[in-house]
Amino acid sequence: MILEHQICETSASQAFKSAVKYTPANITAVEAIVPDKSLRTCLVTRQTMPKAGLLRFVVSPEETLVFDGLKRLPGRGLWVTANNHVISQAISARIFEKITKTKLIIPSNLMEIITGFFRNKCLQKIGLCKKAGVMAIGFQKVSIQISSIGTVCLLEAKDGAPDGRRKMTALTKKASIIDFFDRAELSRAVGVEDAVHIGLTSNKITDALQDELKQYAQIIGISTS
């Protein structure tokens, strides 16, 4: 599984004080002109959709392709659907270079940077769920949550004991089950040692986390249950 990567948006922003190397005249479907400014067009699929479903890239003055996770670095954006296959196609088919008409430096670890960014977003959101009071941690507490108020999302440490995971998941038929993270990651996220089983009740913050998890799953190319 992909390891966590720390993304420093501040440093990246400082590197963009000068203008990018290409002009709007050279751009096709980069920042598409559409009636709704919240929409952009994917370079690969040509589909226009909300920014939330797209990744933004910019070109640095040194002609390096930079992933703009927070979508606020200066420069004209290159938008690609947040999907593993589409991102891989954009890189392998050199679509970024064709669009900008520039021989770009594309980091060899670009996919790791992207997945690391979204992985960290998910873990941060898990921490917010803990603060919001919608979380039960541990086999016994999650079992009680399932049988009482209900569990809509079950986070299972991927390195947890198989028998314990089977027993836990057997208790709920309706909850989405996520096993992207190991116990160390989950423990750091919620501030509790040995966090193997985590249950979340229905709430806006839980919905937001599930949206983040679905997007992360699409980016790493796996499905969620």
Q: What is the pLDDT of residues 132-157, one digit of tens each?
A: 999 999 999 999 999 999 999 999 99
Note the pLDDT tens digit of each residue in 174-212.
Answer: 899 999 999 999 999 999 999 999 999 999 999 999 999
- 83 and 63, same structural domain? yes
Q: Say what the pLDDT of residue 224 is.
A: 62
Q: Sort strands 39-41 and 54-59 into parallel, antiparallel or unpaired.
A: unpaired
- 133 and 208, same structural domain? yes
Mean pLDDT of 111-117: 97
In a domain, 24, yes or no: yes
| Positive/negative CA dihedral, 27, 28, 34, 39 | negative
Q: What is the mean pLDDT of the chain?
A: 87
Q: Which residue has the tokens 């679905």?
A: 214
- The reported pTM is 0.81
Q: How many domains does the chain have?
A: 2
Is the pLDDT at 35 greater than 80? The verdict is no
In a domain, 129, yes or no: yes
Biggest CA-to-CA distance, the chain: 62
Parent domain of 48: 9-107
Q: If we measure between CA atoms, which residue out of 109, 133, 192, 205 comes closest to residue 157?
A: 192
Label residue 34 exposed, middle or buried (CB < 10 Å: 0-12, 13-18, 19+): exposed
- 177 and 91, same structural domain? no
- 59 and 123, same structural domain? no
Select from 107, 127, 150 the last residue of a domain: 107
CA–CA dist 94, 109 (Å, integer): 15
With both helix axes pointing from N to C terminus, report the angle between 110-132 and 183-190 in degrees, rounded to the nearest 10. 50
- 102 and 58, same structural domain? yes
- 201 and 134, same structural domain? yes
CA dihedral 5, 9, 15, 18 (to 10 degrees): 140
Select from 107, 136, 164 the last residue of a domain: 107
Percent of the chain past pLDDT 90, that is, above it, reads 80
- 134 and 57, same structural domain? no
CA–CA dist 166, 144 (Å, integer): 17
In a domain, 4, yes or no: no
Task: Provide the CATH number for the domain around residue 123.
Answer: 3.30.1330.30
Is the pLDDT at 8 greater than 60? The verdict is no
In a domain, 2, yes or no: no
Select from 63, 85, 107 the last residue of a domain: 107
Percent of the chain past pLDDT 70, that is, above it, reads 83
CA–CA dist 61, 105 (Å, integer): 11
Q: How confident is the model at residue 3 (pLDDT cuts 50, 70, 90)?
A: very low
Is 93:157 a contact under the CB 8 Å cutoff?
no
